[in-house]
Amino acid sequence: MTYNVATMKKTATLSREAEIERYKALKKTQKLSRVFAMPELANPSELLTKAEIDFFLQNGFLIKKGRLPADETGVAVKRIWQHLVKAIPTKTGARMTLDDPESWLNPQWETQPPHPQSGPFQGRQPIEHYGRIVKLHDLGNADYLLDLFANNKSVRAIAQRMLGASLKPSVHTRGVYLLFPTKSADDPDGERRITGSALGPHSDQVCQQLNACAYLEDVSARNGGFTVYPGSHKIMFGAHQFESNWSPLPTYYDAIEEIVASIEPLELTAAKGSVIFWHGRLLHSVGIHTGASLRWALFGDFTQDRETLNEDEHRALDQYEWFKDAHLFRHDHEVTSDMWRNWVIG
C-alpha cells in the first residue's frame, strides 16, 4: 500500500506541548532497569542459531559478541576522540584527554546552537550535546566507521539473515553517541540518579526495521548501557498503521504507558566489539550512568532496499532525521497480526 502523506498527518493526536507533559508524567512511574548480559546461545559454526532467532523473535533484541575487529575498533576510538575535542569547545577551555578519566567528569560544553531551520541539516544538529550526552552525527558517513560497522561483512550478514539479501546500501551510520560520567556536590555517589525516572522510553521515527548498536569499549553495569523493554516490539508494532514507516495510531501513547507499567527494562552490558540488534519498534532508552567510564556506542539502521519518499515528502511529515539510513518507504505494508511476514527470520 502507498504510504499516504496526508493520511499520516492525521495520526498525530497530541500537540508537542501535550506530548512533553505526558512524557514527563510517564517518567515518574518508570521502573528501574535490571542489568542484563546475553546468555550463551551462539555457535561459531552458525551465523544465527535457532536459539538466537527464537530469542530475537520473543524479546526484540539480540547481542552478538565479537562482531567488530578489536584493533580497528581501538583505532576508531582514538580518531573519534580527536574529532570530538576539536569539534566541541568547553566553556572553561579545559582540555579533556582520552587517557585521563578525571578530565571526563561533568563536561561543560559551550552552548549548542539552535537546530538549523533549512539546509542539509534541517531539524537536527550535526553534533548534539546535552551535558553528559554527545551525539556525533557528523561522523555518520565517515568511511572508517562504515567499514568497521554498517558495511562490516559479519554485521551485514546478520542483518541479511533477518531482513533478506536485498538490503539498502549503507551510506550512513547514525554516528557515535557518548555518555560522560557526572557527579554533583549533593549527590557524590550518584544515588539520586539511580531511579527509573532517569530512563527515557521511546521508539524511533522515520522507517524502522532493524537497528544496531555497536559498543566500541566494554560497557559494564550502570555505565550507560543501551536499555531495552523486552517484548515491547509486539505491542508497539500494533500501535502503528504500517509495518515499518513511522505511522503512529491514536493508541501509540497508550501502548507506551502499558509497556512502562508492565515490562521491566534491561540495561545491556557487553564487551567491546559487541553489536546489539533490535527490532525497529522495540521501546528503548539511554542507560543509567553512575560509573566513571565513558560509554562509547555506534548506532546504525538496516532496511530492505525499496523505493523511498523524496526529501520534500519527508519535510511534509516533519521528518528531518537525515543522519539515518532509514528513509520512509513509498510503499509500505499495513500492520496485520503477523509482524514477521516480510522478514526472512520469521
| Tens of pLDDT, residues 114-140 | 888 888 888 889 999 988 999 999 999
Question: DSSP label at 146?
Answer: I
187 has a pLDDT exceeding 90: no
- 175-179 and 210-215: which strand pairing? unpaired
pLDDT for residue 192 is more than 60: no
The three cell numbers of residue 56 are: 530475537
pLDDT digits (tens, 9 = 90+) for 29-48: 888 999 999 999 999 889 99
User: Average of pLDDT values for 64-82?
Assistant: 97
What count of other Cβ atoms lies within 10 Å of the Cβ of residue 31? Answer: 16
Q: For residue 190, is pLDDT > 60?
A: no
Which comes out higher in pLDDT, residue 193 or 49? 49
For 266-303, the pLDDT digits (tens) are 999 999 999 999 999 999 999 999 999 999 999 999 99
Strands 210-215 and 127-130: unpaired
Band of pLDDT at residue 336, cut at 50, 70 and 90: very high
Q: How many CB atoms lie within 10 A of CB 329?
A: 21
Residues 332 and 246: beta-carbon distance below 8 Å: no
Look at 235 and 312; give whichever has higher pLDDT: 235
- Sign, CA dihedral 270-273-278-284, equals positive
- Of the CATH numbers 3.40.50.300, 3.90.850.10, 3.20.20.70, 2.60.120.620, which one belongs to the domain with range 5-98+117-182+196-316? 2.60.120.620
Q: What pLDDT is attached to residue 11?
A: 57
**Domain layout of the chain by residue ranges:** 5-98+117-182+196-316
Query: What is the distance between the alpha carbons of residues 320 and 9, in angstroms, rounded to a whole number?
Result: 15
Cβ-Cβ contacts under 8 Å for 4 (sequence gap 6 or more): none
Judge whether 285 and 199 are in contact, CB under 8 Å. yes
pLDDT at residue 6, rounded to an integer: 56
Spatial neighbors of 27 by CB under 8 A, at least 6 apart, are 196, 197, 199, 200
**Alpha carbon distance 325, 160 (integer Å):** 15
Give 273's contacts (C-beta < 8 A, 6+ positions apart): 65, 66, 67, 68, 69, 70, 73, 214, 215
For residue 8, give every residue at least 6 positions away whose Cβ sits within 8 Å of its Cβ, in sequence order, or none. Answer: 241, 245, 246, 247, 317
State the cell numbers at 54: 527464537
Contacts of 225 (CB under 8 A, 6+ apart): 35, 219, 267, 268, 269, 270, 287, 295
